[in-house]
């Protein structure tokens, strides 16, 4: 059953009234018919509905069932260095399916090219589409930070850097992280963080974590870190 995010639609008693951009997709692309069942979700609930009315400027669905949209028990933040456009988009898709709470994109010394806040619209659209297509029912915040230094200032507690040559690995996370607070992973670009950036992490007492099983490309590293950590904790 298809599922879509309710962004601006109205919920009135036992009905959902679709009048925004989603209307075009449901009416003209999916060609929804009366009596057809479809799911919607927002930040708090998942709604199973049935189309009961097709109007020129709206679709009306009757809510048949409501369930709680559960948030992840452990929150993860990812500080993702800017990488090539297609690879960054792949990273967003993977992180959404991993139910990461927040994704921060920042420029680093070895970033492929400069990233601007205006580029966020495309990444947010990808996050929304991935959430709907994968039926994750969860959309992470995607935020731009102008510099790595700013990211370190914001996330110097319960944070970890994925980089080469550390004595720590992901298996140490359950014992050194505070599992009652969001866990943050810093992900470098291709080639990793520069020596100067690693020094910044060390000065702020942010532990470096090495993936002992091998070196993953930047677009995969965050997802691997989150999924492996969840397995170790469970």
pLDDT at 116 over 80: no
Residues 37, 92 within the same domain: no
Asked if residue 7 has pLDDT above 70, the reply is yes
Q: Cα(156)–Cα(151) distance, rounded to whole angstroms? A: 8
The reply to whether 81 and 64 lie within a common domain is no
Tokens of 30: 């999916």
- 49-63, 88-102, 155-169, 202-216: least confidently modelled range: 202-216
Out of 34, 68, 102, pick the residue that ends a domain. 68
Check: CB of residue 58 under 8 Å from CB of residue 64.
Answer: no
User: What is the C-alpha separation between 42 and 55, in angstroms, rounded?
Assistant: 23
- The residue out of 20, 39, 68 marking a domain boundary is 68
pLDDT at residue 76 greater than cutoff 90: yes
Q: What pLDDT is recorded for position 196?
A: 95
As a whole-number percent, the residues of the chain with pLDDT over 70 amount to 98
Residues 81 and 61 in one domain: no
Indicate if 26 and 115 belong to the same structural domain: no
Confidence class of residue 214 from pLDDT cuts 50, 70 and 90? low
Round the average pLDDT of the chain to a whole number and report it.
Answer: 90
> For residue 53, what are the domain limits?
3-68
Residue 4 has pLDDT above 80, yes or no: yes
Indicate the number of domains in the chain: 2
Sheet strands (E) in the chain: 3-5, 10-12, 15-18, 37-41, 45-55, 58-68, 76-81, 102-106, 141-145, 159-162, 183-187, 208-209
Per-residue pLDDT band for 156 (boundaries 50, 70, 90) equals: confident
Q: Is pLDDT of 168 > 90?
A: no
Q: Does residue 89 have a pLDDT over 80?
A: yes
What's the CATH code of the domain at 30? Answer: 2.40.240.20
- Give per-residue pLDDT as tens, 13-58: 899 999 877 888 898 888 999 999 999 999 889 999 999 999 888 9
Give yes or no for residue 159 having a pLDDT over 80.
Answer: yes
Q: Are residues 62 and 138 in the same domain?
A: no
pLDDT value of residue 216: 78
The CATH number for 172's domain is 3.40.1280.10
Q: Is the pLDDT of residue 79 over 90?
A: yes
Higher confidence at residue 164 or residue 124?
Answer: 124
Give which of 195, 186, 189 is closest to 76, Cα–Cα.
186
pLDDT of residue 115: 78
Whether residues 96 and 54 share a domain: the answer is: no
Q: Which of 68, 87, 113 is the last residue of a domain?
A: 68
**91 and 138 part of one domain:** yes
Of 6-15, 36-45, 81-90, the range with the lowest mean pLDDT is: 6-15
Least confident range of 23-27, 59-63, 102-106: 23-27
Assess whether 97 and 208 both reside in one domain: yes
């Amino acid at each position: 059953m298809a599922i879509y995010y309710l962004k601006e639609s109205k919920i009135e008693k036992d009905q959902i009234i679709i009048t925004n951009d989603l209307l075009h997709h449901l009416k003209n692309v999916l060609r929804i018919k009366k009596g057809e069942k479809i799911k919607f979700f927002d930040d708090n609930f998942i709604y199973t509905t049935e189309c009961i009315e097709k109007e020129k400027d709206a679709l009306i669905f009757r809510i048949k069932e409501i369930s709680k949209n559960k948030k992840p028990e452990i929150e993860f933040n990812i500080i993702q260095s800017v990488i090539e456009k297609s690879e960054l988009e792949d990273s967003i898709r993977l992180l959404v399916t991993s139910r990461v709470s927040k994704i921060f994109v920042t420029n680093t010394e070895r970033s492929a090219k400069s990233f601007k806040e205006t580029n966020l619209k495309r990444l947010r659209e990808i996050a929304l589409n991935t959430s709907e297509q994968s039926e994750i029912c969860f959309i992470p915040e995607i935020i731009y930070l102008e510099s790595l230094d700013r990211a370190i200032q914001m996330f110097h507690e319960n944070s970890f850097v994925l980089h080469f040559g550390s004595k720590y690995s992901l298996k140490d996370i359950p014992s050194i992280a505070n599992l009652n607070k969001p866990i943050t992973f810093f992900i470098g670009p291709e080639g990793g963080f520069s020596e100067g950036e690693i020094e910044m992490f060390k000065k702020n007492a942010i532990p470096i974590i090495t993936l002992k099983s091998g070196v993953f490309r930047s677009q995969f590293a965050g997802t691997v870190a989150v999924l492996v950590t969840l397995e170790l904790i469970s």
